[in-house]
Amino acid sequence: MAKAKYTTHLGMVDILPDESPKWRALENIIHEEAANFNFEEIRTPIMEQTELIKRGIGQLTDIVTKEIFAFTKGDSNYVLRPELTAPVVRAYVQHHLDQRGGSQKLYYIGPMFRAERPQKGRQRQFHQFGVEVIGSENPVADVECIAFMMRIYQRIGIKNFNLKLNSVGDPESRENYKSVLKEYLEPHLEKLSELSQKRFDTNPMRILDSKEPEDQEFIQSAPVISDHLNEESKEHFAQVCEMLSSLNIEYTLDPLLVRGMDYYTRTAFELTSPDLGSQDALAGGGRYDLLVEEIGGKPTPAVGFAAGMERLFIACEELGISLADEKKVDVFIVSLGEQARKWALKTLPIFRENGISATMDYLDRSMRAQMKDANRENATYALIVGDNELEEGKFTLRNMKESEESVLDLASIIEKIN
């Protein structure tokens, strides 16, 4: 085979036939559990208006400043979606989903795009599933999101993780806290990392998220937001914690958890796993009570999360969990000679109409080669057809696992397989 002339772009990967079954298995689990939770699926376009993403996620976030794929065509700006919260909210506002009544419990599965340097657990096109509950500020909504998230990992068998929880407060609490934090940091500003100095003005809370060594001593003794929440936010957070405990969902409070998108308010959470290496976040989310209004809707509280599917698979691999069943086909028709091949082609649909998966050789190969093929395809039965069988109207049905054969007419064969 010649060297490939065309290859995927950096950080974009093909999901090949050997890999696709586990994707389907995961997707099935997500669809099933979503149905159990009464979440409804939403599918939005891969591309959005650039302005939506910038407004939604925040002009100064890393995602917007350096990680989006954007281009202009005619008068329109297009951006490959880097996440789905803003687009889902866009759809909610655009189509007046609030008019469906109640709160909207939505979930999604799909590819996202970020123009970062790829490494383990990070690609430029990657896949997330997630949920968005729009229209409720009840802590039950927060907890149901988290419960759904945890349920997926529980079903798959991933148990080795850490659910980190924090409240980043409502606008009032945040403003209070930001000024307290800035007051605290101000005298040390010179000693902070360059990045943190920049964030001092733009988004001081993200300094808490810094991993720069020179910042650590200041971060450790910094005032924490939980001491500066107003009564309402404090009560909301307390209820989230209490409800999680009532569901036996374990979590650790992490006052330094500040997430990378500007829209988060109050509840913030992140699920990390020691099995992932450097990119250790399996999933993350939180409440975003201001985003709907920011995007042009009525003030509407909302909460959601997103989970990385490739990272989930990495964790599975580390833990030796396999999601996919072996491939198999019920019947492989081994046909010898032209007449037999014609018969095989016409018989395949009869099997399929009876709910029996069936295939045959496309290469006119020897019997031996066809048997090897049947074996490789993990066929339950090989149906052997040659001139003798055609004449008698009875065919040799070989059980591949048992290595037993019987000679039967077609009706009996179908009956036996079913």
Residues that bind RNA (CB under 7 A): 1, 3, 7-11, 61-63, 67, 83, 114, 116-123, 126, 128, 195, 206, 209-212, 259-261, 270, 277-284, 306-308, 310-311, 336, 365-369, 371-376, 382, 384, 386-389, 396, 398, 400-401, 403, 405
Q: Which amino acid is at 141?
A: A
Minimum distance from CB of 297 to RNA (Å)? 21
Distance CA 91, CA 93 (A): 5
| Structure tokens given for 324 | 């996919």
Which is nearer to RNA, 121 or 297 (by Cβ)?
121
Which is nearer to RNA, 241 or 281 (by Cβ)?
281
Minimum distance from CB of 63 to RNA (Å)? 6
Q: Which amino acid is at 222?
A: A
Which is nearer to RNA, 140 or 281 (by Cβ)?
281
Which is nearer to RNA, 209 or 318 (by Cβ)?
209
Minimum distance from CB of 281 to RNA (Å)? 3
| Structure tokens given for 299 | 């003030």
Minimum distance from CB of 183 to RNA (Å)? 22
Which is nearer to RNA, 62 or 98 (by Cβ)?
62
Which is nearer to RNA, 150 or 382 (by Cβ)?
382
* Residue of 191, 210, 188 lying closest to 199 (CA atoms): 210
Minimum distance from CB of 392 to RNA (Å)? 10
Distance CA 206, CA 168 (A): 11
Minimum distance from CB of 126 to RNA (Å)? 4
Burial of 43 (C-beta count, 10 Å sphere; 0-12/13-18/19+): exposed
Lookup result for tokens 């880097």: 82
* Residue of 60, 105, 52, 102 lying closest to 82 (CA atoms): 52
Evaluate whether 48 touches 354 at the Cβ level (below 8 Å).
Answer: no
Distance CA 319, CA 289 (A): 37
